[in-house]
Amino acid sequence: MDPIVFVEFNTFQDWLGLLGNIFAIIFFILPIFQMIKLHKKIEDPKNVAYLMMIMNVMNCFLWLSYGILKNDFWVMLANGIGYPTNMIYLCVFFFYYFDRNFFKSLIYILPSIILSGGLFAILTYAIVSEDLSKYSACVFNVFMYGAPGQKIVTK
């Protein structure tokens, strides 16, 4: 029985997709160092640009929705890893933001999970519009890269 092969790496586009996914996954893993600083109380949670985490979650689930609708392996791979990873970062951030008070942070965590998961399900399985997913993902992609400016505006 032959194994299932998603990509055969016959084209430059396949190699570029692999390279892009490697960089995207590294991008999604890097905030772990900020979470470690929060855990060790090296950094104050109030100094963290939380808007970037929210925009990362929105960006990932919109691109994941588009990847599922388009049936694009590379888009689904990167954002299938990025969406849950960024949701975990957001949950950890809320936990430390509210001084390790689980129930207080749960007030923000549950709506975040329900809202993002609900929007993902609606866009992917109810509306089923590739264009809506694609263009809204592009908008939140711009917001994601502009989100670190939150620290410039608030200071």
Whether 86 and 56 have beta carbons less than 8 Å apart is answered as: yes
- Enter the tokens of residue 78: 């990167």
Would you state the pLDDT for residue 151?
Answer: 64
Can you tell me the distance from the alpha carbon of 37 to that of 137, in angstroms, rounded to the nearest whole number? Answer: 30
pLDDT, tens only, 2-49: 455 566 778 888 888 889 889 988 988 888 888 888 888 888 887 777
Q: Domain range spanning residue 54? A: 12-149
Say how far apart CA 17 and CA 3 lie, in whole Å.
21
Output 1 or 81, whichever has higher pLDDT: 81
Q: What is the pLDDT of residue 27?
A: 86
User: For residues 32 and 29, what is the distance between their CA atoms, to the nearest angstrom?
Assistant: 6
For residues 88 and 29, the answer to whether their CB atoms sit within 8 Å is no
Residue 154 lies in a domain: no
Residue 96 within any structural domain of the chain: yes
Per the domain annotation, does 45 fall within a domain?
Answer: yes
Please report the pLDDT score of residue 2 as a whole number. 47
4 within some domain: no
The pTM for the full model equals 0.81
64 within domain boundaries: yes
Helix and strand tally (H, E) in the chain? 7, 0
In a domain, 87, yes or no: yes
Q: How many domains does the chain have?
A: 1
In a domain, 37, yes or no: yes
Task: Select the more confidently predicted residue: 95 or 146.
Answer: 95
User: 3: phi > 0 → left, psi -120 to 50 → alpha, else beta; which?
Assistant: beta
CA pair distance 9, 15, nearest whole angstrom: 6
What pLDDT shows up at residue 22? 92
